[in-house]
Structure 1
């Protein structure tokens, strides 16, 4: 049975009298009583507020409890007593002062470059083998199918086991799979069946690695620099998104597709080496007092009982189904709509990555200086509108500009959603809640890829992308109208 105090004050229906003293809501923090001139527009008591009056002394929650981790009180920029803000340049790289994060971050630069090379080469290979947008969508869906099957369980594992070991095992397995894909392609034995099998294996490794990595950042930098670490990780992800596809496009046109797969296998050594050099306190597994099903139910109950996390998870699912399939359709746009071939595909992907890199750097610089609620609204509407505009573009140059702008707004949207959710989740549930986030982020991709592939086969790729974008715009507007807390959250 889920404990009744799993809900966050201000969201659940439990009266304060049924909550431990440290979980009872502060009447001064309710939305109706909040004075916008003296307090932050935080919606939850999870997001601690402080105004010009001294904050009441609170008893710290017990270690390992399911109470949201509040951290130190935050204040408005003009609130009295606020320490001087760190210089923008220093704040942009705050997480890199942590040795463990530096090792992991630079290792990721090598590994993710190879990942983007393989992703680009794989999409082109499938299109060359099958000449079918629907089968291209099927392969993309197959790569995400294991996320539907294993990610939620992976969140339980991440809360029970040492996270570094899980990530090491997943990266090592992916290295082997990349070698196999390169060998099959290089020797001419590659078929659609082999591709489907290998993407399923890759997807299984990702199902365990991604949610574990998302909850691993707090172990590397602590709560203070968590938002900056997420932003820098997004910047690294998108820096490699610029380099990887461009290199893959050159390789495909010169030495062949297999070279991209071999270089990806080699790139995994970077992150594996970084993980082996990281020094962490000895891991002490928590006592197992519940079954796996009960653990999963507990994570879902926390999300279901808290309106803001529930809304964030729902929004990311909508993006995964209606917007993110654009990446799967890019080979079709490059070959059939814009007529620019494999090098053009690499340029389109690199433009997206360049914009997303700029977005990650911008987010790292501004940090918490901008309210995350309005930032989420503007970035989500902008990203979706830019995708609709790209769907109707027939100019290669204009398409590059639109994708770069879409990449910029996409990373603002994704990283802000991630950081906001992580600021709300209690430590004891972090792995499970982030696994639900990844489940929606990646697990809904098969649904999105299949629907986009089917519509593209029937009506064309531009209609598939534009139609999904228009529906998503309506979803975003409805959510922002019905959930005012999301507009006001700090």
Structure 2
């Protein structure tokens, strides 16, 4: 190798990378709407480890073995959802994530009124299917529809939003369960997720088409142009 032919590129600062990824995501309604959905569903809906533990012990008077079995039923639904999502290639759009998220939120509400352990366990796979179908579709949308040059930064933001709601949601759910009981807590979590889904659908359903050019330069230029038009 001839070192004289090498080109030196300065490494950008890490915060510059993060800001650029954030600007790109905020300029793409089809991406940041998915992130909003993931935040609300992940924070309030994907808490089966808490839901199942309290329902099994407090509501149904079961022991550790029965609680562990509930995890198996969730896993069955999750596995089915993973298989189903692989066959839903043509539905991988942001609108589908919103609709599927709404179905999952309704499933969580229905889960809260299951009258006994058997009915609760039988219904858990439905929650698992809708949850995994929504989350896998959301993940693939963010990855596939992002410019490869900035995909890693966008996915980093996505994962931060997805996992960042847990420190907020888990303690809140625990407090709610102590105050109003686990059934009302599960129903409330589903209701919050459903309300957020309805608001997102009404506000953004017509703004989530994937742009023809997803490159960083094209997206940011378009966003700046739209911002300038709004200020005039």
Matched ranges for 1:80-479 at <5 A: 287-364=9-86, 366-370=87-91, 372-479=93-200
Distance in structure 2 (CA, Å) of the matches to 1:343 and 1:487? 45
Distance in structure 2 (CA, Å) of the matches to 1:432 and 1:488? 21
Distance in structure 2 (CA, Å) of the matches to 1:317 and 1:474? 13
How many residues are treated as equivalent by the alignment?
Answer: 204
Residue by residue over 1:367-411, the C-alpha shift from the partner in whole angstroms, topping out at 9 and shown as x without a partner, is: 423353453233212211111111122311211122110000111
Distance in structure 1 (CA, Å) of the matches to 2:92 and 2:35? 19
What residue ranges of structure 1 are gaps of 5+ in the alignment? 1-285
Query: 1:301 offset after TM fit, Å?
Result: 0.9
Residue by residue over 1:411-467, the C-alpha shift from the partner in whole angstroms, topping out at 9 and shown as x without a partner, is: 110001111111121112122111111111111101000110111111111111111
Query: 1:327 offset after TM fit, Å?
Result: 2.6
Residue by residue over 1:69-109, the C-alpha shift from the partner in whole angstroms, topping out at 9 and shown as x without a partner, is: xxxxxxxxxxxxxxxxxxxxxxxxxxxxxxxxxxxxxxxxx
CA contact (8 A) 2:92 2:137 kept: no
Partner of 1:12: none
Distance in structure 1 (CA, Å) of the matches to 2:190 and 2:148? 35
Query: Max radius of gyration: which structure?
Result: 1
CA contact (8 A) 1:351 1:404 kept: yes
Normalized against structure 1, the TM-score is what?
0.40
Normalized against structure 2, the TM-score is what?
0.81
CA contact (8 A) 2:108 2:190 kept: yes
Q: 1:315 to 1:296 in 2, by over 3 A?
A: same
Partner of 1:261: none
What residue ranges of structure 2 are gaps of 5+ in the alignment? 1-7, 211-232
Query: 1:317 offset after TM fit, Å?
Result: 1.0
Partner of 1:482: 203
Distance in structure 1 (CA, Å) of the matches to 2:14 and 2:72? 41
Q: Does the residue aligned with 2:114 lie in a helix, a strand or coil?
A: coil
CA contact (8 A) 2:26 2:32 kept: yes
* Alpha-carbon RMSD: 2.1
Q: 1:486 to 1:445 in 2, by over 3 A?
A: farther
Q: Does the residue aligned with 1:428 lie in a helix, a strand or coil?
A: coil
Partner of 2:216: none
Distance in structure 2 (CA, Å) of the matches to 1:382 and 1:482? 18
